[in-house]
Amino acid sequence: MSDVVTCECGQPFPVTTRDAGSTFVCHCGRDVRIPRVAYTPGSAPRDGENSANRPAIAILVVTFIVAAISATYSPGALFPVGLLMIVIGRVWLTALVFRELDLPNAMMVLLVPFMPTVFLFKRFDIAGLPFAYSVLGVFVAISGFDSL
């Protein structure tokens, strides 16, 4: 990856990822520090940019509350709650796949049986939470199925 770092005097310097974390002297005499990690689309967010996970955490908390209430009043109600969690996790993963990939690759991830797992391992930073949510839905559905 090639990027440009600009000195305070305005002089641009092309840098690569190998230059990350180093410092060099500009022709004006100032030290120019190259950041260790440059933010690129699809990479891990910087500090303070993790607000995209807030809706996901809210979904998890609301589902946990609904599952706890349904288990209290009717253990058999956990089965449809678990199925709903599985569907929500799959739709969530689908939205992430379409956001990250172009259309032909996204369709391959969705239609080929083992490709969502490959996507999960390649992009665990974004696909881990929907996968965990779906797995939790499987356990909730199984626990509700026993009491039907």
pTM to 2 decimals?
Answer: 0.56
**Which alpha helices (DSSP H) does the chain contain, by range?**
54-73, 78-100, 103-111, 115-122, 124-145
What was the pLDDT predicted at 52?
53
Digit-coded pLDDT (tens) for 58-106: 777 888 788 778 777 777 888 888 888 888 888 888 888 888 777 887 8
